[in-house]
Structure 1
């Protein structure tokens, strides 16, 4: 079994992540390490929880020999020239080239300009459709970092950087557009090693080549469904590693939707096993993302779905224990964590988490005990009655004696008077 630090140093089941502007197309599923598929993965030995599994390195594309992005320039026209003999469609395209920049989001951080009008106006794609584009991306200085003749992705699924996903929805078929985007809609503060520096603004030249409806999930073969689900899962890993947990959750949910969809095609037992393995990885990473956003109820549901299929899944047990502790269910959380520790006694992360929750539970019981004593009084030391002074005489006895004395005196006076 892989060592603790090696096996869970990254998001579960993570292979090379997409670079954010590219979506590998028609690639076979990345093979998991044999040890990873046959043995239970251990937890990372650290004081932090373990969401990251395997190592994921950014895709290194050597594009140093590619030409810089070519500027599209329109030929100057003279007012004295004779009327052109070009057909109306060509005239329309020339006018579209002169179109001003479109401020896509209204904050001047993402802009689009038509370079070549599409031949089919009104043919814009919609979310959920599959598109194929030719993409060239360069830095502000002109260095080309991406040049792909064919890039296929599902519009609106977050398969690519936001600048591309948002702007392609505003393009007609066969249109070529220039997109200028701030870093926040591309690779943000981290950039993409080694070719895109942090906080880099990018220029994208995009041609919308093809638009078609996404495939019917019910008709996908087992391998096709597996490949599609893995693409969404790996994209979720990409977002998770960048702390973009909302986007990560969206990608994991899409992968789970693909896996759980009904099918009219028979799958082999091996394909069923592989699909279940991908489902477990998505659910575990989904729970990790939900925990980061304090979505405890949703995280608990994700953990329980894992444990329904794999009752001894350590990561699911560990995260379920953390969720229950966050909700104040310390007794149940401690029991779950002890079960995980029994499965992997040498794990330092579980030891640390269990010790922390035991201490919190003890502190909670002490606070409750003190509160009850304050409310009900100290029952261990009942109050003693105040002792009476030995010389004190009850007022009733004193009153009675006085009455008798007065009565005696009165009787003596009456008797003397009679005599």
Structure 2
């Protein structure tokens, strides 16, 4: 059965050189997010990330470095979630990108990166496709795919209407104006080529999800 929620992350104990999570106020941040105080939650995660970064040492073992990285990644993911709630899409994109630099297959970061691409459907589709390849049955991702396809279709319809309005109705033009001008052909081909490319991209994502 398809999962309705984002995949859970394993609990990672902090290395010996890192203070307890309570000192970073991560727990307070989560609680603040639940009561819609996402701004305070964001500040808490920022403090946590700075504390984790400052805790790094040159003589750390490989295991300690990995634990520190996973702890920082979790904070960045939670930070991105709070930033999205505040509609801070640029900072959320940066947080997701930092996660993906170390963990390219992090589902949460991929999914939230899609949410940062407001109106940029051509950019969102490949990211969503990568997430679907990792978890094809994730219902949350499939729902987002459906929304993207609908929004993309609506955007194409609006652009098509504006395009037709810009050029006017050729059947109503005088005879001397019915011939195609030198500038209308490139614009027409450019518009439809872009529309077809984006449509093919959406279809490929759907096929990927079904497979």
Question: TM-score, normalization: structure 1?
Answer: 0.38
Equivalenced residues, count: 175
CA distance 1:356–1:334, shift in 2 (3 Å): same
CA distance 1:282–1:371, shift in 2 (3 Å): same
> RCO greater where, 1 or 2, for CA within 8 Å and sep 6 or more?
2
- Once residues 103 and 71 of structure 2 are traced to their aligned partners in structure 1, the CA distance between those partners, rounded to angstroms, is 13
Confirm whether residue 242 of structure 1 aligns to residue 35 of structure 2: yes
Q: Report the CA distance between 1:264 and its aligned residue.
A: 5.0
Partner of 1:332: 123
Greater strand fraction, Structure 1 or Structure 2: 1
Partner of 1:223: 16
Partner of 1:354: 145
Superposed CA RMSD in Å reads: 2.9
Q: Report the CA distance between 1:243 and its aligned residue.
A: 2.0
Partner of 1:320: 113
Written as runs of structure 1 = structure 2, the 5 A alignment for 1:3-402 is 4=3, 8=7, 32=11, 222-227=15-20, 231-261=24-54, 263=56, 266-324=59-117, 326=118, 328-379=119-170, 381=171, 383=173, 385=175
- Once residues 37 and 155 of structure 2 are traced to their aligned partners in structure 1, the CA distance between those partners, rounded to angstroms, is 34
State whether residues 229 and 255 of structure 1, in contact with CA within 8 Å, keep that contact through their aligned partners in structure 2. Answer: no
- Once residues 71 and 103 of structure 2 are traced to their aligned partners in structure 1, the CA distance between those partners, rounded to angstroms, is 13
Superposed CA deviations along residues 20-61 of structure 1, whole A, max 9, x for unmatched, are: xxxxxxxxxxxx28xxx9xxxxxxxxxxxxxxxxxxxxxxxx
Q: Report the CA distance between 1:302 and its aligned residue.
A: 0.5
- Once residues 3 and 23 of structure 2 are traced to their aligned partners in structure 1, the CA distance between those partners, rounded to angstroms, is 24
- Once residues 321 and 7 of structure 1 are traced to their aligned partners in structure 2, the CA distance between those partners, rounded to angstroms, is 14
- Once residues 5 and 96 of structure 2 are traced to their aligned partners in structure 1, the CA distance between those partners, rounded to angstroms, is 23
- Once residues 136 and 124 of structure 2 are traced to their aligned partners in structure 1, the CA distance between those partners, rounded to angstroms, is 17
Greater helix fraction, Structure 1 or Structure 2: 2
> Structure 1 stretches of 5 or more lacking a match?
14-31, 38-220, 387-419
State whether residues 24 and 51 of structure 2, in contact with CA within 8 Å, keep that contact through their aligned partners in structure 1. Answer: no
Q: Report the CA distance between 1:297 and its aligned residue.
A: 0.8
Which of the two has higher C-alpha Rg?
A: 1
Runs of 4+ in 1 over 3 A off after TM superposition: 3-9, 228-231, 262-265, 381-386
State whether residues 230 and 278 of structure 1, in contact with CA within 8 Å, keep that contact through their aligned partners in structure 2. Answer: no
